[in-house]
Structure formats: structure tokens, C-alpha cells
Amino acid sequence: MLQKHSVVIAGHQTSITLENIFWWELKASAKSQKISISTLITDIDNKRRPETNLSSACRIYILRKLQNRCTTSA
């Protein structure tokens, strides 16, 4: 189910719409890196292509992270 989540990026409050599973993975990733979810999403925002919206960039980040995990353990 899609859900809106409020985050602060570079001092500005915004919202992203993500499926819960992607939100949970973002939170887990931030926790494992010992950073806040806002810091992680700010980093994703800074690295995304201009034509990619932030919600899609977050999904791509999670997908790549999971792909790397599968490749590493194979």
C-alpha cells in the first residue's frame, strides 16, 4: 500500500510516497549506517538524476542495495 511519509531534506519539509516495504527498508538501511532517515534520503536526493522523482530514486536505492547484497552472498 502506498503511504505518504514526511521527511526533512536540507532543512525543508517534504513528503515522499512509498510502499511500506520500501519505507521499512529505507529505515533499516539508515539504522545500519547509523544515520537518520532524513540524512539517508537527503543523500539519495543529492545523487539522483534530475528526471527521476525522489520516490522513484528511493526505490532504486533499495533495489540496488538488495541486488548488491544478493551478488555479494552468491
Q: What is the pLDDT along the chain (74 residues), one digit of tens a residue?
A: 899 999 999 889 999 999 999 999 999 999 999 999 999 999 999 999 999 999 999 999 999 999 988 887 76
Distance CA 62, CA 38 (A): 15
Distance CA 64, CA 3 (A): 22
Give the per-residue pLDDT at 20. 96
Give the per-residue pLDDT at 74. 61
Contact 5, 16 (CB under 8 A): yes
Give the per-residue pLDDT at 72. 76
Residue labelled with grid coordinates 555479494: 72
Distance CA 13, CA 45 (A): 13
Beta strands in the chain (DSSP E): 2-9, 12-19
C-alpha cell at 39: 540524512
